[in-house]
Amino acid sequence: MKAFDIQPVCRDMEADIQQKIDNLNKPKGSLGRLEELAMQVCLVQQTLSPSVAHPCHLLLGGDHGIEREGVSISPREVTWQQMINFTRGGGGVNMFCRQHGFKLRIVDVGVDYDLTAVPGIIDRKIARGTRNFLFEPAMSEEEFDRAIGVGCELVDACLAEGCHVLSIGEMGIANTSPSSIWMSLFGGIPLEECIGAGAGLAAEGIRHKQDVLSRAVARFAEVYGKGCDDGAHGVDGQAHTVTTIRYFGGFEMVAAIGAMLRAAERHLLTLVDGFIMTACAIAAIRLYPAAQDYMLFAHQGDESGHKRMLDIVGAKPLLHLGLRLGEGTGALCAFPLVDSAVRMVNEMNNFQSAKITKYF
């Protein structure tokens, strides 16, 4: 895996930022989470005048070999059908991107269908879906590296266009399965507590999913050992984390990890979506803990275990709307709050210029 140079955000400006926020013509602390958001954006961008101009959304598509085991109520063809639907503007992600002014990039990283002739889809296909991790690693080391590179390339393209805030979504039937496994292995949580209904499995379907994933994790442990829930972040810990990611992950998920790490390296704020993207964020943080400074966790979704997943990294999500669509829609819904925080710090008057007595 390529090395990233990710440093914690520099906090030298923190006192100056706080002073500016406290001197806005409002009671101290009266805008609550918006003030915290403003602080984070200012620190990420290292400025007293932050910006959310030219926001970009990456929609990454990929299929999963584990889908062949019946762990999802949705068949795999829904992945490519939805990818085409997104190019026609008909998805939830399209609506929210239009509403909030995001440039949408639809990227085929590993869909099990030929989409090369479909206008509006960026072709970065690594393979037509991953292999079945019940029996073997989902991807090779070379495929893992390529997927990380796709995420880096996409972030660089957004930055070249002046992007100041990034959000990421996914389309990949059965991707709650690797997400649940990462949650268990990286968070030290029993696997059965990490598995939910996904796109709508009934009780029997959930039991089957638990059986399949438990057997996959047991096989992985036999070959590679456990060792992921010890909190290690050294060279050995990072190597085992990479092995865990590529054994279970999807191409779209690994590309998302690459994008998150590249965004952190380039000091770009990333809005983290729901269950799948939070799993990717946890994996990215396992590799480079400082990457979390550049992440804003947008919402607590309705998928079973998402709150516990957020607790793994101590995240405090902005929204709790019962969302579980994926595609990055929760991150997009949270964007207006980030925009409000930035407008607050940039546009509100202060006590002195407004000629208002500062009473604290």
For residue range 17-73, list pLDDT tens digits in order.
Answer: 999 999 999 899 999 999 999 999 999 999 999 999 999 999 999 999 999 999 998
> Rounded mean pLDDT of 160-181?
97
Q: How far apart are CA 336 and CA 104, in angstroms?
A: 17
Mean model confidence pLDDT for the chain: 93
Proportion of the chain above pLDDT 90, given as a percent: 82
Token representation of residue 246: 């590529």
For the question of residue 327 being annotated catalytic, the response is yes
Q: How far apart are CA 75 and CA 67, in angstroms?
A: 8
- The candidate with the shortest Cα–Cα distance to 86, out of 57, 126, 55, is 57
pLDDT for res 301: 86
- Residue 289 inside a domain? The answer is yes
Question: Around Cβ 329, how many Cβ atoms within 10 Å?
Answer: 27
Q: How far apart are CA 79 and CA 82, in angstroms?
A: 5
Which of the residues 69, 265, 303, 327 is marked catalytic? 327
Q: How far apart are CA 166 and CA 130, in angstroms?
A: 26
Token pair 């999807």 is found at 250
For residue range 236-276, list pLDDT tens digits in order.
Answer: 678 999 999 999 999 999 999 999 999 999 999 999 999 99
Would you place residue 205 in the very low, low, confident or very high pLDDT band (cuts 50, 70, 90)? confident
The strand ranges marked E within 128-228 are 165-171
Q: Which residue has the higher pLDDT, 28 or 128?
A: 128
pLDDT for res 235: 56
- Residue 23 inside a domain? The answer is no
- Residue 280 inside a domain? The answer is yes
For residue range 69-80, list pLDDT tens digits in order.
Answer: 999 989 999 999
pTM greater than 0.85 (yes/no): yes
- The candidate with the shortest Cα–Cα distance to 360, out of 38, 34, 22, is 22
- Residue 22 inside a domain? The answer is no
Domains contained in the chain, number: 1
Residue 92, domain extent? 56-338
> Rounded mean pLDDT of 180-204?
85
Q: What CATH number is given to the structural domain containing 156?
A: 3.40.50.10210
Task: Kindly give, in sequence order, each residue whose CB lies less than 8 Å from that of residue 103, ignoring residues fewer than 6 positions away.
Answer: 54, 55, 56, 57, 97, 158, 161, 163
pLDDT for res 230: 45
Judged against a pLDDT cut of 70, whether residue 349 lies above it is answered with yes
Judged against a pLDDT cut of 80, whether residue 355 lies above it is answered with no
- Residue 297 inside a domain? The answer is yes
pLDDT for res 231: 46
Proportion of the chain above pLDDT 70, given as a percent: 94
- The candidate with the shortest Cα–Cα distance to 325, out of 93, 119, 8, is 93
- Residue 290 inside a domain? The answer is yes
- Residue 303 inside a domain? The answer is yes
Q: How far apart are CA 172 and CA 83, in angstroms?
A: 10
- Residue 209 inside a domain? The answer is yes
Judged against a pLDDT cut of 90, whether residue 353 lies above it is answered with no
Q: Which of 263-277, 307-321, 344-358 has the lowest mean pLDDT?
A: 344-358
Q: How far apart are CA 229 and CA 183, in angstroms?
A: 10
Judged against a pLDDT cut of 80, whether residue 200 lies above it is answered with no
- The candidate with the shortest Cα–Cα distance to 55, out of 131, 166, 176, 206, is 166
Token representation of residue 198: 């996904």
Token representation of residue 189: 């949580």
Judged against a pLDDT cut of 70, whether residue 298 lies above it is answered with yes
Per-position DSSP letters for 159-185, written without gaps between them? HHTT--EEEEEEE-TTTHHHHHHHHHH
The strand ranges marked E within the chain are 56-62, 103-110, 121-123, 165-171, 269-272, 295-297
